[in-house]
Structure 1
Amino acid sequence: MKTRIAASALALMSTAAAAQDAASTLPDAVARVAPALEAYSTEDLVGSVWNGEELSMRDRALVTFAALMTRHETENLGSYVELALDAGVSPAELSETITHLAFYTGWGNATAAAEAMAPIYEERGIAAEDLPAVDPELLPLNEEAEAARQENVQGNYGDVSQGVVDNTEQLLFLDLWLRPALEPRDRSLVTVAALIAAGQPEQMTFHLNRAMDNGLTQEEAGAMLSHLAFYAGWPKVFSAMPVAKEVFESRSQ
């Protein structure tokens, strides 16, 4: 038993070290041009934030991937794909994240992310059978919650664009959100991360509530905000903070 525990601990340490190495990768130019930035990156971002216990290494890798994809930072995406895979995000989960976020950040961002990931998948021998099915058996639908959501959207926006209302229902909430390759909590997690990175806090209330309904804790949500400040910038996170505060307070009542 002790041997198995020791082996598990060693594997966990190895994964954390590999993920930390990936997160600390900086272009050589940074040290030559902005040594203070290199110090903040090494000592604070990698040395402290990435090691925070409030959010797992796996979740940090997933939300960072979502933020970089949203911001179209494909030149940095490769090392974070490696990080995510080493930290326990499966190839299928990353694939599904791209598909999901195409609807929330745009098709161009999703296509660019797929192009950046393709060489890594090829190098690791990740094949089509390792990826989500095109037409899987969907998860059960919460019919009451979906009926309420659809009634609200139809009532508010049916006269504005029935096409958006219909596609939101049929493509997103009756299909995309029910695909099983990404757990509902993780699907909500990357959606909220993308909204923060895109600077769209007005869309967060519904999705942060949904994330917490799906199992995200307030502590984890707060840690996600702190983490994303480094990747999306402090102004975007401070724009999201009042929304998060309102959600937290409403759920505690």
Structure 2
Amino acid sequence: MENTTATTAPTLPALAMYSENTLAKNLWTRSELSPRDRSIVTLAVVVSRHHGAEHAHQISLALDNGVKPAEIAEIITHLAFYSGWGNATAADLAAEQVFRQRGIDISSLPGRDITPLPLNQQAEDQRAQHVSSNFAAVSPGVVQFTTDAVFNDLWLRPDLAPRDRSLVTVSALVANGQVAQITFHLNKAMDNGLTQSQAGEALTQLAFYAGWPNVFSALPVFKQVFESRNV
């Protein structure tokens, strides 16, 4: 039986060889990052970059690797803000199909009625002040929605742990070459419990699913963040 752990089964011989030998038998079995975390990283890539051929498979694999349906729903919702609504709505269609096939009740997934996580008011005040002082005159709407919809709402939704929400965000930033945003969010991820070794191994996973150039563009930023935190 074919091993389809890493990706959907390709037909081209060379691609199939690398998918089976390098991804399924090597990358996905590395102990430096759990299969659950690897699925979170990979799902962030395929959603944020609209890799439609991978959507259903990676959602199914994430479920097999212990990512809960509510967490998958939150990952897709989160990425609507960090990679655009169209990418999220495309993934939503795939998630709906997978969930129905598995008998998962979509109406039970988190919506409006949640109890938000507590807000770190001091950290949020610092972030909001920095953004407002730099950009309020440029786009007050962006500044307002960044506070109201993103950091005072989306980030406080409880069905995806802050550490995992940060892992999704960093993965999407790397996958889309958004290097300028990585420093803030990688520091936030590590404040939320992502370890340095886990962050480094996430880059290894990202190299295959987001491409080597995006990872090598991110490596200096990760290095700088690690060094600044180890002083």
Q: TM (normalized to structure 1)?
A: 0.88
Matched, 1:249 2:227: yes
Compare 38-47 and 150-159 and name the one that shifted more: 38-47
Give the match for residue 62 of structure 2: 84
Matched, 1:65 2:48: no
1:24 deviates by 4.6
Which string of whole-angstrom CA distances, capped at 9 and with x for unpartnered residues, describes residues 210-246 of structure 1? 0000000000000000111001110000000011001
Alpha-carbon contact 2:96-2:106 (below 8 Å) kept: no
Matched, 1:21 2:4: yes
Matched, 1:122 2:91: no
Cα distance in 2 for partners of 1:74, 1:182 equals 23
1:30 deviates by 1.7
1:103 deviates by 0.2
Cα distance in 2 for partners of 1:24, 1:121 equals 19
The alignment yields a C-alpha RMSD, in angstroms, of 1.5
Which string of whole-angstrom CA distances, capped at 9 and with x for unpartnered residues, describes residues 54-87 of structure 1? 1000000111011001110112111111100000
Q: TM (normalized to structure 2)?
A: 0.96
Return the letter of the residue paired with 1:101: L
Structure 2 portions without partners, runs of 5+: none
Give the match for residue 56 of structure 1: 34
Give the match for residue 156 of structure 2: 178
Give the match for residue 205 of structure 2: 227
Residue 96 of structure 2 aligns to a residue whose secondary structure is helix
Cα distance in 1 for partners of 2:105, 2:112 equals 14
Aligned residues: 231
Which string of whole-angstrom CA distances, capped at 9 and with x for unpartnered residues, describes residues 100-141 of structure 1? 110000000000000112111111111134311323111000
Work out the percentage of aligned pairs sharing the same amino acid: 54
Which structure has the bigger radius of gyration? 1
Alpha-carbon contact 2:173-2:182 (below 8 Å) kept: yes
1:22 deviates by 3.3
4+ aligned runs moved over 3 Å, structure 1: none
Alpha-carbon contact 1:22-1:79 (below 8 Å) kept: no
Return the letter of the residue paired with 1:167: F
